[in-house]
């Protein structure tokens, strides 16, 4: 993403590997240059990408509280899941065989949002 010929952001989107649902895509990473953060550029960028991939279910999972607040306020995004990541037990959706990485996820609050722009 550029603004006045200056690179200000990056977004990665990919098809979610689901055995039956072939229309799910996830935004795996969104990066906005620090000096441009806090102005809503990231959400506007995601809205434009979601419009390009119209007809797919676009989802993003985040643990950043300011981002959760911004997406909750935006009519184009619906929170479909929120809560804490479990400790790797049956209720956890994040599993890792690496003990160091699994400790980083324990008790982290995350939320998953789905784009609903054309459905509002």
**Residue from 44, 51, 9 nearest 30 by CA:** 9
| Rounded percentage of the chain residues whose pLDDT exceeds 70 | 79
Check residue 61 and give its pLDDT.
94
Strands 6-7 and 77-84: unpaired
| pTM, rounded to two decimals | 0.77
Check residue 105 and give its pLDDT.
56
């Amino acid at each position: 993403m550029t603004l006045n010929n200056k690179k200000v952001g990056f977004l990665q989107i990919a098809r979610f590997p689901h055995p039956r649902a072939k229309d799910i895509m996830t935004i795996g990473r969104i990066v906005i240059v620090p000096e441009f953060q806090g102005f809503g550029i990231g959400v506007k960028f995601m809205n434009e990408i979601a419009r390009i991939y119209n007809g797919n279910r676009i989802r993003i999972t985040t643990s950043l509280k300011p981002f959760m607040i911004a997406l909750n306020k935006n009519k184009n995004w619906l929170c479909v899941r929120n809560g804490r990541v479990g400790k790797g037990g049956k209720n956890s959706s994040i599993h890792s065989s690496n003990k160091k990485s699994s400790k980083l996820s324990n008790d982290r609050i995350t939320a998953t949002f789905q784009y609903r722009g054309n459905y509002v």
